[in-house]
Amino acid sequence: MKARFVHSMAAALLTVATAPVTAQSDFECIIQPRQVLEIRSPIEGLIQRVHVDRGQSVRRGQVLATIDDSVERVAAEGARHRAAMTGALQAAESRVLASTRKLARVEELVASKFLSAQALDDAQNERRLAEAELQEARDGRRLAEIEFNRQNAIIRLKTVRSPVNGVVVERLLNTGELAEAGVGRRPILRVAEIDVLHVEVLLPADAWSQVKPGAAAQVQPATGGPSRAATVAVVDRLLDAGSGTFGLRLELPNPGHEIPAGARCRVRIEGVALAPRRAASGSASGAPAAGAMSQPGAAGTSTTAPTGTSPQGSSVAPRPGSAVRPTGS
């Protein structure tokens, strides 16, 4: 009788382990912003005004902060004035015209043998010098225009704008403080992009072959509300051997910023279903665990053997799809 009991229990365990699973599985996840940006000024300067505060939604191109640009505006005005100056250019053009006429008269006199060749060389050199001065005047005017454009570009950089649609996470500097440029310097603001959220999930290694990029999923935020449709964007190709898991990233549209970033959630991915792990002992109320079998005992009583435990008390932990070798009587 004992041998028949062990054989029956092993057959039941094998049936449970190899039964096909059709129900999809839910997994724990966390919702994160697409990216968190540290907003700094590209040019060092004194903060004139910070236009936004923590928790405020911002749009791409919106002015976030203004750096004092009074010095740059004065330099731009000087460059603009130099670019508009025409005195040096007109003087150089007049010298070129005068030297050209003088050279023509000298050439006539040299041809008539009234002047020497030295006089002709001097007139030619004078005209070349006048032409060089004219070119220098033109170059100076062009450089003034370039300097004017450069100062205007610096002034534009003193206006810090949002590069993304998002929300202000933290305000670190205020009006009157010094904004420093460079990596590692204290930023003015931190802005999180939440138009599209990232949902990070850890799945068992058994599910790796079941997940493909582009697969549909349903995300249920822990904050409540209806489930939201998401799409698998990234499937890690490197599994963690220690935990037997791999990472997954989903993209969750959030156009109205209705879903808060940082919330926990549960996700159900289309086509991913794993066999549930069954308890190794009965419930606290004394009821037998799922899959438990009864063995007739003495005096008409029955002895309950939980799934995965032999009558002798030794643990039996079959893996899904593996047979259980029955013990002898």
Tell me the pLDDT tens digit for each residue of 251-308: 999 988 889 999 999 999 988 887 655 433 343 444 443 343 334 343 343 444 344 4
Q: In whole angstroms, what is the distance from residue 242 CA to residue 292 CA?
A: 32
Single out the residue of 191, 188, 190 nearest to residue 158, CA to CA. Answer: 188
The CATH code that applies to domain 38-69+158-179 is: 2.40.50.100
Q: What is the mean pLDDT of residues 154-183?
A: 92
R_g of the chain, CA atoms, integer Å: 41
Is the pLDDT higher at 62 or at 308? 62
Choice among 67-81, 118-132, 244-258, 289-303 with the minimum mean pLDDT:
289-303
Beta bridge partners of 161: 63
The confidence score (pLDDT) of residue 23 equals 54
Q: What is the mean pLDDT of residues 86-93?
A: 89
The confidence score (pLDDT) of residue 158 equals 92
Q: Is the pLDDT of residue 103 over 80?
A: yes
Q: What is the pTM of this model?
A: 0.62
**Cα dihedral 177, 62, 249, 226 sign:** positive
Single out the residue of 274, 257, 152, 252 nearest to residue 206, CA to CA. Answer: 274
The confidence score (pLDDT) of residue 116 equals 86
The confidence score (pLDDT) of residue 283 equals 39
Q: What is the mean pLDDT of residues 167-192?
A: 92
Q: In whole angstroms, what is the distance from residue 231 CA to residue 199 CA?
A: 9
The confidence score (pLDDT) of residue 25 equals 77
The confidence score (pLDDT) of residue 203 equals 92
Specify the 3-state DSSP secondary structure of 118: helix
Q: Is the pLDDT of residue 14 over 70?
A: no
How far, in Å, are 32, 79, 87, 107, 144 from residue 83 at the CA level? Answer: 52, 6, 11, 38, 5
What's domain 26-37+192-269's architecture? Beta Barrel (2.40)
How many of the other CB atoms lie within 10 Å of CB of 316? 19
